[in-house]
Amino acid sequence: MNSTPPIAPDDEPKPSKKRGGKRANGEGSIFPYRNRYAAYVWITTPTGEKKRKWVYGKTRAETHDRWLKLHQQAKAGPVATSIPTLAQYLTYWLAEVVTPHLAPMTSSNYEMFVRLYISPKLGKKRLDKLTVREVQMWINQLAEECQCCVQGKDAQRSEKNQRCCAIGRCCDTPISTRTVRDAWTTLRNSLNNAIREELITRNAAALVRVPKGRRRKEKPWSVEEARQFLESARAEGDPFYAAYVLILVMGFRRGEALGVQRSSIDWDGWNEPCDDHNKQFCPECLSERSVELRVERQIQRVNGKLLHREVKTESSEAPLPLPDICAAALRLRLAEQDRARKHATEWAAGALDLLFTTRTGRPIEPRNFNRSFEARCRKAGVRRIKVHTTRKTCASLLVALDVHPRVAMQVLRHSQISVTMEVYAEVSSKETRAALRQLGDRLTSPRRESGP
């Protein structure tokens, strides 16, 4: 089909007296019209209406081919009579499908890929006219172009800071293979939705070849490096010590650690003194008591807004039994926060029930936590890694301790076992507690007395 707009009912093509030859069987709706040929098929629209849809061609054969394709579409299901451009559809998709139903961070990422990479190159194409070849050429070009030039990044800088494209010296900085693949994934997902809405019949993006790319593998800390880092933070009274314990021992994500609420901790008698030994922290009895933490909320900075929202998956909200090192660190943090609130000249109005806050009761900025983590790496004299790599550290420690894959999956709160390991098994919460207690013992040894 071509892009000729639909014809009004009173202006429908009428058969010409001069025919371009005898019609074949079934071609009663194909006839000459304005120096070419026109044809129609009765179709059902996505709204359930019966309408005639027209196709045109320079020759009868060309029109016949388009007529047959339209017939096939009409038999397969509803056919749209008005098709938007890709840019128009992506605007609708982001506003009505992505934003209301996906996480804010996912929505923000999709919007970024559409704005920077998809709409500028493919946005003017009509949705049903997008071909596999055009998508393939777009991907190839995206992987080679200097984005500093394409997006005008250098021109937006002040004159003294311009260093490449604006002064005629290209810095040649194409985007990574991972970013190319993410942009393609965004386009593919949007076209899949267009198929569900019966605007198109095939996904051109799903048929192209896309580079896989390789993820950078950052070496996680060893048990000794993790212990050295935690001991340094504990000895110097780092206000984020308890958060460091959670991300290293429990594999918490940054946002999950910063979003922990005081009301989410179930002490279950851990605070009570031991009747048998008359001690508040009795080593002989602590192992018989349980402390559980529900991971319910997380802190995220999205589109300039600091959000306190639900965690990634429902499985992440399951209560987690905490080893002694985590329970002691959380108890220490509670006492520190109570003292800070008592001596603060002001406390944030309507402050959330967060365990980790600023001196005035406000949530911690995720980037500020990153800066504090990097500073602690330097002070502790350990190799610098990213905050998210601590999850890999926790996973590697669990593997090194021969912890069952299912236990590791529960600790790290993965939604699929394949993310953790290709092993399936069932474990009980008792085994989980034992594994976490074992991990806590390793992190505080050999100088147990220096721990909390």
Residue 72 sits in the same domain as residue 96 = no
Question: What integer pLDDT is reported at residue 353 of this predicted model?
Answer: 85
Residue 410 sits in the same domain as residue 261 = yes
Of 127-136, 159-168, 220-229, minimum mean pLDDT range: 159-168
Inside any domain, residue 323:
yes
Residue 71 sits in the same domain as residue 91 = no
Question: What integer pLDDT is reported at residue 112 of this predicted model?
Answer: 94
For residue 340, what is the domain's CATH number?
1.10.443.10
Inside any domain, residue 213:
no
SS3 96: helix
Residue 304 sits in the same domain as residue 435 = yes
**Contacts of residue 19, Cβ cutoff 8 Å, sequence gap at least 6:** 31, 32
Of 76, 98, 133, the residue at which a domain comes to its end is: 76
Q: How many domains does the chain have?
A: 3
Residue 15 sits in the same domain as residue 60 = yes
pLDDT, tens only, 350-381: 667 899 998 888 899 999 999 999 999 999 99
Contact predicate 443/230, CB 8 Å: yes
DSSP string, 209-236: ---------PPPPPHHHHHHHHHHHHHT
C-alpha span between 191 and 203 (Å, rounded):
6
Cα Dmax for the chain: 109
Residue 261 sits in the same domain as residue 389 = yes
Residue type, position 200, single letter: I
Question: What integer pLDDT is reported at residue 136 of this predicted model?
Answer: 96
Strands (E), 152-275: 265-266
Of 57, 76, 95, the residue at which a domain comes to its end is: 76
Of 15-19, 34-38, 142-146, 434-438, minimum mean pLDDT range: 15-19
pLDDT, tens only, 52-102: 888 888 888 888 888 888 888 788 777 766 788 999 999 999 999 999 998
Per-residue pLDDT for 252 more than 80?
yes
Residue 387 sits in the same domain as residue 276 = yes
Inside any domain, residue 4:
no
Domain that includes residue 121, residue range: 86-207
Question: What integer pLDDT is reported at residue 369 of this predicted model?
Answer: 95
Residue 406 sits in the same domain as residue 331 = yes
Residue 280 sits in the same domain as residue 376 = yes
